[in-house]
Chain A
Amino acid sequence: MGANKIGVSLPDGPGRPPRLGRWILSRILPVPLKPTASGDFEELYRRILAKDGAGKAVAWYWRQVLKSTPHFVFTEIHWRITMIRNYLKLTLRNMRRRPGFTVVNIGGLSVGLACCILAFFFIRDEYSFDRFHTHIDRIYEVKSKIWRDEGSLISLETQGPVGPTLAADYPEVEAATRLAKIDVVVQAGEKVFLQAGLGADPSFFNVFSFPLTRGDAASALGTPNSVVLSKKTAQLCFGSSDPMGQTISIKIGNDTAPYKVAGIAEEIPANSSLTFDVLLPILRVKGPMIDQWKAESGDSALDAACFIRLREGVDAESLAAKFPDTLDKHLGMGGYKGSHYLFPFAEYHRGVRDYSYSVILKPRSSPVYSYLLTSIALLVLLIAGFNFMNLSVGAAAAERIKEIGMRKVLGAEQKNLFHQFRLEGIVMSLAALAGGVGIASAVLPVFNRFAGKSLRLDLIGPGWPLFALVFLAVFLGAAAGSYPGWFLSRLRPTDLFRGNFLLGRRRGFSRVLLLFQFGISIFLIITTGFVYRQHRYLLQANLGYNTEQIVVLDLRQLTPEFQIAARFLPVLKSRLLGHPEVKSMSAADSGMAQWSARFVKGVASQKVEIVRLNQVDPDFLDTLGLRLTEGRWFSAEFPSDETDAVVVNEAFARTFTPSQPVGKGLSELFKYKASAKIIGVVRDFHYESLRQTIQPAMISLGANDVRWAYIRLDGKNLHQALDMIEKEFKAVAPGHPFLFSFLDEDVARQYEKEARWSLMISIVSLFAVLIACSGVFALAFQSSVRKTKEIGIRKVLGASTPQIIGLLGSEFVRMAAAASLLAWPAAFFAAHRILAGYPYRIALGPWMFVAGGAAVAVLTLATVSLQAVRAARMNTVDNLRHE
């Protein structure tokens, strides 16, 4: 028998209890009973065997094993809780002993987790877009395209009859609705509002799921004079009184007519691509022409978006396969081919699949930015995780080595120490999760504003994100705690007491982690830099016209009848020009950045293009500072300019009339304005945002019904000038709202998305870099501990403080350089992807890459200096005595 008191399992022999019973017993015995209890069972078994024989003994043994099981399970649970409680006690003691370290460590991970939480909710919202439609997976948009060769492909909305034809003739299609968006002026009693109108067929509610709070969806759009209002609009018009059955007057284009309210729609969710304030019969928006196949003219003004809902189980592709022989026949013309295709509505918002453009739906999200946000969040979490590990190991190695050695001497098993470290990791990361949730909910309102979302942090909502997060935190903590636990627990106590030299041994791993942190930081700095500079560029680029000192008046609520009757524009203009601060004034049909798009078929040039049109008054050129490159501008000397002249932009000239555009008659090119001649060419200017390339555009005169006025001021006393303009406006158009903005601000507003993203990414990157810095700090601390003696000897030999900084810092600077090499290709790829989305963009210059690496190197050096100065200032005698 001997020294081993734990004992061994003996082989089978005579007199031993049944083997299966023993095995079961050995499985269910709680840990503290393992060394002895099965012996007790066996001893009693043998006694009964000797007295009553094998049958009784076996029966007794089995009965005892079975009856003992609940007791053993209970004991095991109790034991585990006790162990965990002990570990927890030690963990809290350790955390309290080093509060600074604990705060830095937990804080870093909190930030990382907060980034992840926000990114998770952002992505979930992106994926939930439009998902509230009951039949979302069966809703398709029908689009058409026309092409002659690869380069001339154009995607379009469909001709009016496509929707009804599909619904009537194709059994696969359960419902179809055409949609057309138009701003309408709603008048209820004295109140006038500009609202977003949407023309639709009565089957609208069969395709989409917009529940009505009042009215019957099946008949809501049934008559030509019925209208469905959004809850918000109904409140605007009628306040608290019942809107159902009331009559309102709606102006669409130039027609004003009375409508009866036949339904109120529930509030439209924020994650809907399709929104409306006022839902009207499409015939009122587009006119009866919408129901006819178009003639040769190909004028796209009568096209409408078309959405269908397929019958259950119908394959979209098999339906689309029927189009070439049927629908497509209405599209081809000249040398052009045309076809229809189906685009799944469910895939619209995320913006991954190719899609032409939509005037109906909210802009899609930019997948590049979503990817960027997700990857940044994950990278920040990764940095934070690495940091967590490095800090834990670093602190453990530097300060707890003796503690660990002592515990080993006192009989702690490797497993116990390992559990202890792992639990410390888990406790810290759970604390960090609590912190992360706190941070995330604190910054959520700001995040929502930047991201243009209305997210809620419903951690226990659908999908139970809280579980996933707790799981993630436990995993992170266990992973981060396991490494130091594994590393330190397997060392021999003698090694542990000798201490410092060990720090060298495990630096390899920490350095790899730090290399990644550096690389990620450099990547983020470079990417952020490019996003920021691209945004600056968008704001400052030369647009080809003047945006400064120009006041824009929104005149969309002034009816043409009113404008003509009051001679609105001429009167206002002459009154305003009487003031010295007004330099010039003009008006136009389309506002800057949103010229109406019209598809026109070329005859002579055989090209089909989207041509933008604007009707302006003659002072447009001067007021906005456009430049003529050829020919002349509209002039009062040529009365025929009123009807028969157009000015085109350079893009138009390049596309349609490469040689000698001026003097060319439009009839050779278009059926639109066939009698007109081109009288001049203006230099290309960005009448849309810089996200679009400049498209061919035509300008003609037409100032009777204007929607936007532009007033150029001398810029001296803005407030006074605005007051004056308002007074004059009210005098000419009493009872109409005075809506104004500044052109430069309107232009900047186009890039709000870029502004938001640039700021958001900057902030997140800043956090990432800060976290990485705290990692550097921890490693520099270890380094200085490890090199204590070296520093002491060098100081004795006359080294200065900067030299000591160099001694400790050179290693990190070299690592920053190496990390740059890793980060550059990734940053190049990311920046290239982001910039590729902009036709007008900054160059991918090399200095940003260098700056990214340099920034991290400088920050590192600064961080190391904090540590190095401390080490260098220490008393040399203490340094050398250090053991």
Chain B
Amino acid sequence: MDRILTRAEEFLILAVLKLGDNAYPVSIFDEIGKATGASWTLGAIYFPLQRLEEKGLLTSILGDPTSERGGKSRRYYRITGSGIEALSAARQAQDIMWQGVAWARTK
């Protein structure tokens, strides 16, 4: 992994990780919405998901079509080994950056 994940990517991978077998765009969208409280655009999460898949951090499989989805399938995402690595690298970098920050004392 040559580049540290962006915050959006980090959130997406974390959502996929937490959702386990039920990670598909709608649930990911809900998860991120719950965490950040902001109102997201559904269309905005596809491209980052696709990029993460191209980079090999996520994989996906198609589910069966259902009628409540207008006859369309769900695309389920799952994290890969390099996805885990990237996530922990991001976490590590963040921890290192936070070390010794003394802002809490001024409160």
Give the B-binding residues of A (Cβ under 8 A): 1-2, 4-10, 15-17, 22, 32-33, 35-44, 46, 64-65, 67-69, 71-72, 74-75, 78
Residues of B within 8 A of A1 (CB): 64-66
State the CA gap A847–B30 with chains docked (Å): 87
Tell me whether A7 and B72 are in contact (CB under 8 A): yes
Tell me whether B46 and A75 are in contact (CB under 8 A): yes
Tell me whether A64 and B70 are in contact (CB under 8 A): no
The stretch of B7-15, B21-29, B86-94 in contact with A is B21-29
State the CA gap A160–B3 with chains docked (Å): 89
Sorted nearest first, the 9 A-B pairs with minimum C-beta distance are A68-B43, A39-B72, A39-B69, A7-B65, A10-B71, A71-B43, A42-B70, A67-B41, A36-B75
Tell me whether A40 and B42 are in contact (CB under 8 A): yes
Among A1, A2, A65, max chain B CB count under 10 A is at: A1
Q: A16-B70, A39-B70 are in contact. Are A75 and B47 (CB under 8 A)?
A: yes
Which of these, A33, A39, A64, A72, contacts B65 with CB under 8 Å? A39
Residues of A within 8 A of B26 (CB): 40, 43-44
Q: Which residues in window 58-107 of B have CB below 8 A to A?
A: 62-75
Residues of A within 8 A of B62 (CB): 5-6, 35-36
Residues of A within 8 A of B65 (CB): 1, 4-8, 39
Residues of A within 8 A of B73 (CB): 5-7, 35-36, 39
Q: A5-B62, A68-B42 are in contact. Are A40 and B25 (CB under 8 A)?
A: yes
- Across the interface, name the chain B residue whose C-beta is closest to A68: B43
Among A2, A9, A32, A40, max chain B CB count under 10 A is at: A40
19 additional A-B pairs beyond A5-B62, A37-B46, A39-B70, beta carbons within 8 Å, are A4-B65, A5-B64, A5-B65, A6-B62, A7-B65, A7-B69, A8-B65, A15-B68, A16-B70, A17-B70, A35-B62, A35-B72, A36-B62, A36-B72, A42-B70, A44-B26, A67-B43, A68-B43, A71-B44
Which of these, B29, B64, B70, contacts A38 with CB under 8 Å? B70
Tell me whether A71 and B68 are in contact (CB under 8 A): no
Residues of B within 8 A of A36 (CB): 24-25, 62, 72-75
9 A-B pairs, CB-CB below 8 angstroms?
Answer: A2-B64, A8-B71, A9-B70, A35-B75, A36-B74, A37-B46, A39-B65, A43-B69, A72-B43
- Across the interface, name the chain A residue whose C-beta is closest to B67: A10
Tell me whether B42 and A7 are in contact (CB under 8 A): no
Tell me whether A40 and B24 are in contact (CB under 8 A): yes
- Across the interface, name the chain A residue whose C-beta is closest to B66: A1
Tell me whether B75 and A64 are in contact (CB under 8 A): no
Tell me whether A64 and B69 are in contact (CB under 8 A): no
Q: A36-B75, A41-B42, A43-B26 are in contact. Are A75 and B50 (CB under 8 A)?
A: yes
State the CA gap A33–B64 with chains docked (Å): 16
| Smallest CB separation, B56 vs chain A (Å) | 15
- Across the interface, name the chain B residue whose C-beta is closest to A3: B64
- Across the interface, name the chain B residue whose C-beta is closest to A45: B70
Among B41, B64, B72, max chain A CB count under 10 A is at: B72
State the CA gap A44–B25 with chains docked (Å): 10
- Across the interface, name the chain A residue whose C-beta is closest to B69: A39
Residues of A within 8 A of B42 (CB): 40-41, 44, 64, 68
Residues of A within 8 A of B44 (CB): 67-68, 71
State the CA gap A797–B29 with chains docked (Å): 76
State the CA gap A602–B64 with chains docked (Å): 105
| Smallest CB separation, B106 vs chain A (Å) | 40
| Smallest CB separation, A29 vs chain B (Å) | 9
Residues of A within 8 A of B25 (CB): 36-37, 40
State the CA gap A72–B68 with chains docked (Å): 23
State the CA gap A1–B42 with chains docked (Å): 25
